[in-house]
Amino acid sequence: MERSQAARAADALTATTFIALLRGVNVGAANRLSSEALRQAFAAAGATDVQTLLQSGNVVFVAPAGRGAAIAAAARAIIASDWRIDAPIVWRDAAAWQRLVGDNPFLAAGVDPDRLHVACLSASPDPARAARLDRRRSPPDAFEIVGADVYLSLPNGVARSKLTNAWFDAELGVVSTLRNWRTVTRLAAMIDTRR
């Protein structure tokens, strides 16, 4: 059933910018998905003004407020159906992404931004599970959990770290996807240009 003109107008007034992060696309030879295909999937899921960043599953899009989860779920289903790639998607609205950028404890402590990463989680982890994480798992790496984000300082690089998506997923019982700080700030800049 087609939505009424009044409902569509109300959606336009509450339009929100969202960030969607796909995990595991365009890594190595498997799970190749072009930026164009990714934009098409999100547009077919109901997003507008869809942009991608790099070839690693970063999407910025506009949708009615409160529809971020539904758009991400629909896009994931389209990608699985049309391209046979089942990639988990973690999403944030623009306000949450700006908080993520502003709340980095390692940046505030003066750590080199080229050594910083963020693991975005599908939900805030259970505090008891988060408290049990082994902070000595991968020295000299360090991490801090703030809400549904894990800030990482990886002095020897991400490839040498034992602080992986698989480890955070298993230990915290959520889905995580990792981005370097340069990508985080580039996505924030994309949000800023939409204001």
pLDDT score of 5: 62
**194 and 147 in contact (C-beta within 8 Å)?**
no
**Can you read off the two tokens belonging to residue 103?**
């709340």
User: Which three-class secondary structure state does DSSP give residue 121?
Assistant: strand
Look up tokens 């959990």; give the residue: 145
Measuring CA to CA, which residue among 82, 76, 61, 84 is closest to residue 23?
A: 76
pTM value surpassing 0.75: yes
Same fold: 5-87 with 97-192: yes
Taking the domains of the chain in order of start, what are their residue ranges?
5-87, 97-192
pLDDT along the chain (195 residues), means of 10: 54 80 76 89 96 91 94 96 93 96 94 96 97 96 97 95 96 97 96 80
Between 2.60.120, 1.10.3470, 3.20.20, 3.30.70, what CATH number should domain 97-192 receive? 3.30.70
User: What's the CATH superfamily of 5-87?
Assistant: SP0830-like domains (3.30.70.1280)
